[in-house]
Homo-oligomer: A and B are copies of this chain.
Amino acid sequence: MTFDKTELKVNPENEELYKTFLPKVEKYRQALKDGILEEYKLPDELLPKSVGVDVTKIPEQVLSKKEVYITELKAVDLAAQIAKGELSSVEVFRAYAKRATMAHQLTNCAMELFMDEGLKRAGELDDYLATNGKTVGALHGVPVSLKEHYDYKGKVTHAGYVGLIDNVSESTNQCVQILYDAGAVFYIRTTEPQLLMHLCSNNNITGIARNPNNTALTTGGSSSGEGAIAAMKGSALGVGSDIGGSIRAPASFCGVWGLRPTQKRVPMLPITPAGSGVQELIVPVLGPLARSAEDLELFMKVELGSKPWETDATLIPVPWRDVAVPEPKQLKVAVCYDDGVVKPTPPILRGLEAAAKKLKEAGVKVVEWKAFNVQECVTAAYDGYNADANKKQLSLLKLSGEPVLPLSKHILNSGCGFEGLSVYDYQNDAGIRDGTRTAYLEQMNELDVDFILSPVYSSVAPLPETCHYWGYTNLWNLLDFPNVIFPTGLKCDPAIDKPDSSYVPRNDTEKYEHELYDDAAKFAGAPISLQLTGKRWFDEELVKASQVVAHIIAK
């Protein structure tokens, strides 16, 4: 059983094996369809007949006012109202069950729907509150969506690999368990791309997910479904993961909030695919997608409040600190307009410029960030993904012989690709990483800023299967400076954001990415989101600053 490394095409022997998996895939898809319950679903006549549509407002056409009210609440407020008895967990659940089911019908964001379990859990939580006069925890009755990636005891966890479609988790991921113990209600697991390594959504099990703001566009990835469901308000809070942009691209492309925390704070295990190795040149993290800074903080408080380091020795015991919401004049921000590798497209530049102007007007210190070492760091990041010569990824693909999708081919050939690295070069990349970590901190100190405002990607949400450049996000994975993604309130406007045809690309990557943005009309309605980056380990200050920054920018 081999893959042709340069072509990564399905060889005849793969085809034979893959045939044995197709009935399983069919069965899985049927189960997903069966998960769309009559009581929650959107009537067929409200489903758009074509793509290129903003579907975010469609559920409101059939939801009651109360249901809209419930699903518009921030998670912190929702939890507070449930705790006070103003809302029941069951009525909250039913509202979210509808909106999540519709979200899936409209964007294909779900891998698994288990609404009955959610309803049962919500009922039990109501009983608990009635009997005990107190909640089980800070998330009592809050509907939370989960990327399918995390082990969930008793459920299949395949992580987008066809070869793992029979893999039933033996235990539940610690991060997920902590949310559950705090009262979260689970009912949907969301979609991710093949290899978990596209800033896009395609896999051979459930196909692509669509961007709620414009269904011709991608949700981003790899927490693809989490981006879509957050934008559709199908969950109050969601869990994604990020090793190159996988929380931030979907949050940005779909127009919601996302936090990539500093590594080793939020627990991560067990996860599928498990594997025995640990790649630590560039470290994955779990984190929240949500609809506000307050909800990002709620997630972190619940996770760290459980002291997960008492059982997981790979974590660092840094409790979440309560810090004050800063005054605008206390904020000091450097703005990165261009990373020197791929210049942002017109809508992103417009977003950055508008943001800088408003921040200055509000009294925020704003200076320009001079990007440096970006290409070296981004190359090191890609090297990290493929350092084992793709041995682990290929072994997972080979389990089923499934076809290798275009963006999988792209990422497998990025960085060191199939050559892999020697340990000597791997360690050199770690040296580049550590040196740049400190050099970036030094530049922040020299500029006297605490935050960096930058693009999330060189453009707004692209078409499916096209996004190649991860540098605006995976730079920060490598350096491990935490990031918050937030919407600016602006959207791509074809009348304003015309492509700059006079611009001469500085390299092939930039040429490729700029050519994707050949016609602004394709991207109409795509959210313009930005990324705020803080100092490593200072997630608390970052989240609070993002709340103020986003408020000023969206005003």
Contact = CB atoms under 8 A, between A and B. Distances in A.
Top 4 A-B pairs, shortest CB-CB distance: A277-B427, A278-B430, A313-B437, A313-B441
A535 to B, nearest CB: 8
B420 A313 contact: no
A428 B426 CA distance: 14
Count chain B CB atoms within 10 A of each CB in A388, A420, A432 and give the residue with the most: A388
A537 B317 contact: yes
A508 interface: no
A430 B313 contact: no
A158 B147 CA distance: 52
Nearest to A427: B277
Interface in A417-451: 420-424, 426-428, 430-434, 437-438, 440-442, 445
A355 B441 CA distance: 47
B309 A537 contact: yes
A336 interface: no
Interface residues of A, number: 45
Contacts of A438: 311-314
A280 interface: yes
Given A423-B388, A423-B421, A277 B428 contact: yes
A535 B389 CA distance: 35
B314 A316 contact: no
A387 interface: yes
A23 interface: no
A334 to B, nearest CB: 16
Count chain B CB atoms within 10 A of each CB in A314, A428, A538 and give the residue with the most: A314
18 contacts: A276-B432, A277-B427, A278-B430, A279-B427, A280-B280, A280-B427, A311-B441, A313-B438, A314-B437, A316-B318, A317-B318, A317-B537, A317-B538, A389-B423, A391-B424, A392-B424, A421-B423, A423-B426
Interface of A: 275-280, 309-314, 316-318, 387-389, 391-392, 420-424, 426-428, 430-434, 437-438, 440-442, 445, 479, 481, 535-538
Contacts of A314: 434, 437-438
B389 A537 contact: no
A445 B311 contact: yes
Nearest to A444: B313
Nearest to A390: B424
Count chain B CB atoms within 10 A of each CB in A275, A280, A421, A538 and give the residue with the most: A280
Nearest to A441: B313
A116 to B, nearest CB: 34
A269 B367 CA distance: 30
A389 B441 contact: no
